A and B are shown apart, each in its own frame.
Chain A
Amino acid sequence: MPEFPAVWTASFLSDFLADQLIPALNRGLWVTLALIFPSATLGMLLGIVIGSFRTFGPKPIRKLADGYAVIIRGTPLVIQLFILYFGLPNLGIYFEPYTAAVIGFTLCSSAYHSEYIRGGLMSIKRGQMLAAQALGFSRIKALVWIIIPQAVRRALPGCGNELVYLIKYSSLAYIVTCIELTGEGKVIASRTFRFTEVFLVVGLYYLALVTVASYGLHTLEQKLYIPGFGRGDR
């Protein structure tokens, strides 16, 4: 029969939860958000660039961008972070934990975004590019003003998923000693040995983040939807 600790009482709630755990986790939450926002924005932008290279770039660039995406998507994010944080110092390149984490997350999510963006770009009919050129757009201008705005809308469901993954994988920053939500939880749990309680609450924080993000993305999808244009890949 499982034995629940006798400390799950009112004093537990007030002393441990309210005085220790929640303030520490809130501190960690800010770090987590500070990791997610730049990584998500930069990752998306880089993903659009790489996705465009993979679809419209000249052959050598296309191959290079394809290789980048394949390598990043074929290796675990932990390894990438370890190479950035522990590996590069072998070459004399040093990063702060926070910087290493943001660079790692950006590179990783850009590879996944590029995959969805590429799908979106390829779903736009070739005729649109030709029509734009016929109207006097240069290739780059047609790409930026005509093709990408449509492709990004179509790629949005996939990119949204990737954002949710990013929120969850931001917990890996703790492994390269950037103390965010998971890290704060681990510190308190190791000190008090209340692993179950601490990580259940940490889990609730992530569930809240993920649920809010999914809701926001769904709303964004509805907002950006062009009537009569077909809904993404559905």
Chain B
Amino acid sequence: MESLIAVWEAFPYLLQGAVVTIIAVVGAMGLGLLIGVPMAVGQVYGNRPVRFLVGLYVWFFRGIPVLVLLFLFYFGLFSLMGLNLNALAAATLVLGLTSAAYQSQIFRGSIQSLSQGQLKAAKALGMSDFMGIRTIILPQALRLSIPGWSNEYSIILKDSALAFVLGTSEIMARTHFVASRTYQHLPLYITAGILYFILTWAGMRALRGLERKTRIPGYSHG
């Protein structure tokens, strides 16, 4: 009974945390998209140094745990660079930079799955490389990336719970705060788990809807 009261009282507070979580996740996904697409294009069509740099970036961000990256950037590199970020901005930025590495590989996969003739045909029609990639390749590749992208969403959402180590006021941090005051750890963390579960489920559903919506009728890939 006591535990139910604790959950009931904490619930609005945790819901506000869900808003913070959503802000962090949407920000990180957006940043990852913004950096990930040029990286993918660079890795497929770029020259050697570009490919090497992108490869290095991906190797670095995919090989180091998010927790270590959060510590490294928030306590170390950001202040070394003279950036004075609050915890939420820093966590969003780090999650975004990490996600960019993963997203670039999703986009690279879908770019490479398109037939090579498409870019050649675009060039034969007088398009520049840039125009061909922007108007022919990417609109198809991005559509194909949505399933991989929704996977990435569920990973980022779960990783965002780690932002609590920096003191961001998202679901996990708020749960931790309430739980250490009321000692109702079990019911509160289960509640937090349910919130994350709902967010995962709702996001995946929305992205499946997007996938259906952007599908080109009669054009099935592969």
Q: Is B196 an interface residue when CB atoms closer than 8 A count as contact?
A: yes
**Interchain nearest-CB distance for B109 vs A (Å):** 12
Interface size on A, residues (CB 8 A): 44
- Assess whether B185 is in contact with A185, with CB atoms less than 8 Å apart: no
- Which among B3, B68, B72 has the greatest number of chain A C-beta atoms within 10 A? B68
B196 to A83, Cβ gap below 8 A? Answer: no
Q: Which A residue's beta carbon lies closest to that of B188?
A: A87
Q: Say whether, besides A2-B82, A90-B184, A195 and B71 are in contact (CB < 8 Å).
A: yes
**Cβ–Cβ contact B63 & A83, under 8 A:** no
Contact of A2 with B81 in the complex, beta carbons under 8 Å: yes
Tell me whether B136 is interfacial, beta carbon within 8 Å: no
Whether B186 lies near A88 (C-beta < 8 A) is yes
Q: Is B76 among interface residues, defined by CB-CB distance under 8 A?
A: yes
A189 pairs with B68, CB closer than 8 A: no
Cβ-defined contact, B76 with A79, below 8 A: no
Known A-B contacts A78-B172, A172-B67; the reply to A189 vs B186 at CB < 8 A is no
Within 8 A of A (CB), among B198-217: 200-201
Does B154 lie at the interface of the complex (its beta carbon under 8 Å from any beta carbon of A)? Answer: yes
Q: Say yes or no for A16: interface residue by CB 8 A criterion.
A: no
Q: Which of A42-50, A98-106, A145-153, A196-204 contacts the other chain?
A: A196-204
Give complex CA distance A120, B7 in Å: 41
Interface string of A57-78 (1 = CB under 8 A from B): 0000000000000010111111
- The reply to whether the CB of A207 lies closer than 8 angstroms to some CB of chain B is yes
Q: A56 contacts which chain B residues (CB < 8 A)?
A: none
Taking A169-B65, A203-B68 as contacts, is the C-beta distance between A189 and B185 under 8 angstroms?
no
* Pairwise interchain contact B65-A89, C-beta atoms closer than 8 A: no
Q: Does B125 contact A (CB under 8 A)?
A: no
Chain B count of residues within 8 A CB distance of the other chain: 43
Q: Is the CB of B72 within 8 A of A203?
A: yes
* Interface residue? B179 (CB, 8 A): yes
Contacts of B80 in A (CB 8 A): 2-4, 196
Within 149-195 of B, Cβ neighbours of A (below 8 Å) are at 154, 157-159, 161-162, 164-165, 172, 176, 179, 183-187, 189-190, 192-193
Total A-B pairs, Cβ < 8 A: 125
Residues of A within 8 A of B131 (CB): none
CA distance A189 to B192 in the complex (A): 30
Of residues B67, B77, B82, B185, which shows the largest number of chain A Cβ atoms within 10 Å of its Cβ? B67
B197 lies within 8 A of A75 (CB): yes
B45 contacts partner chain A, Cβ-Cβ < 8 Å:
no
- What is the CB-to-nearest-CB distance from A132 to chain B, in angstroms, rounded to a whole number? 33
Among A79, A82, A88, A195, the residue within 8 A (CB) of B75 is: A195
User: B190, A83: Cβ atoms under 8 Å?
Assistant: yes
Whether B63 lies near A206 (C-beta < 8 A) is yes
Q: Which residues of A contact B71 (CB under 8 A)?
A: 182, 185-186, 189, 195, 199
Contact across chains for B189 and A206 when beta carbons are under 8 A apart: no
Residues on B with C-beta less than 8 A from A170 are: 65
A138 within 8 A of B: no
Q: Which of B63, B161, B165, B193 contacts A210 (CB 8 A)?
A: B63
Given contacts A83-B193, A86-B189, contact A196 B63 (CB under 8 A): no
Q: Is B52 an interface residue (CB 8 A)?
A: no
CB–CB A175/B165 < 8 A = yes
Task: Out of B158, B165, B176, name the residue touching A76 (CB < 8 Å).
Answer: B158
CB atoms of A87 and B190 under 8 A apart:
yes
**Smallest beta-carbon distance A121→chain B, Å:** 21
Binding site for A on B (CB under 8 A): 3, 59-60, 62-69, 71-72, 75-77, 80-82, 154, 157-159, 161-162, 164-165, 172, 176, 179, 183-187, 189-190, 192-193, 196-197, 200-201
**Extra A-B contacts (12), CB below 8 Å, given A78-B162, A88-B186, A196-B75:** A74-B201, A87-B189, A90-B187, A168-B63, A168-B65, A175-B67, A182-B65, A189-B71, A199-B76, A203-B64, A207-B60, A211-B63
